[in-house]
Amino acid sequence: MRMVRLTSGLSLALLVATAACERQGTPPLYAPDAVEVAGQSAINAADEAPTIPAQRPEPVPAAPATPLVITDGQIEAEFSGALAQCLNTGDAAKGVSVAMGGCFNTELQAQDARLNVAYRQAMAARNDSGKARLRTEERAWIRHRDSGCQQAATGGTIDMVEIPSCLLTETVRRRLVLAAAVGPT
């Protein structure tokens, strides 16, 4: 058993979310699902005159993608001050699950609005096929996030804290991923 000294409701929330991920043993939700390799394409023989294979240039493989690593500290830094204040006052500060869950749900709404802005910016930066890929990726991410966070459910009142905390953490992580893909604005 791991012993951790908690200094705030926010630390408790991160501990709960981390423990849920450890129990699940699932890969990070921010990992890219596919990598495109530049220069690789199917060639339709009817569209092109026959060529000698030696004359066709070899595709140049893309450099390996560097995985984007987003730490718990980076995610926590994105939370509003209102979340910490909510978790450190009233019933939430006393550890009442319903009150703590309310704090996370309020923050989740704010962070979801920020995610939507990042998604619109990412869509605007893409061509039509890129927009279709991003739309498909985003829908898959939502399903993966929701099912992954539901897997942490134990059936107890702690679910009122664990599930919204997980949703919040993964929503912030996704926004950071989208923002990194678009670049500084």
The answer to whether position 113 is within a domain reads: yes
The answer to whether position 53 is within a domain reads: no
Burial letters 97-130, b for 16+ CB under 10 A, else e: bebbbbbbebbbeebeeebeebbeebeeeeeeee
CA separation for the pair 99, 157 (Å, rounded): 11
**pTM of the complete model:** 0.66
Q: Characterise 155 by phi-psi region: left (phi > 0), alpha (psi -120 to 50), beta (else).
A: left
> What residue ranges of the chain have pLDDT lower than 50?
1-57
Residues 6+ apart with CB under 8 A from 38: 59, 60, 61, 62
Range of the domain at 153: 81-185
Structurally, how many domains does the chain consist of?
Answer: 1
**DSSP assigned state of 27:** P
Share of the chain above pLDDT 90, in %: 58
The answer to whether position 181 is within a domain reads: yes
* Predicted confidence (pLDDT) per residue in 70-115, tens digit: 999 999 999 999 999 999 999 999 999 999 999 999 999 999 999 9
Query: Hey, is 125 helix, strand or coil?
Result: coil
The answer to whether position 64 is within a domain reads: no
Q: What pLDDT shows up at residue 61?
A: 52
Q: What pLDDT shows up at residue 124?
A: 95
The answer to whether position 182 is within a domain reads: yes
Q: List the CATH number of the domain containing 136.
A: 1.20.1270.180
Q: What is the 3-state secondary structure (H, E, C) of 45-88?
A: HHHCCCCCHHHCCCCCCCCCCCCCCCCHHHHHHHCCHHHHHHHC
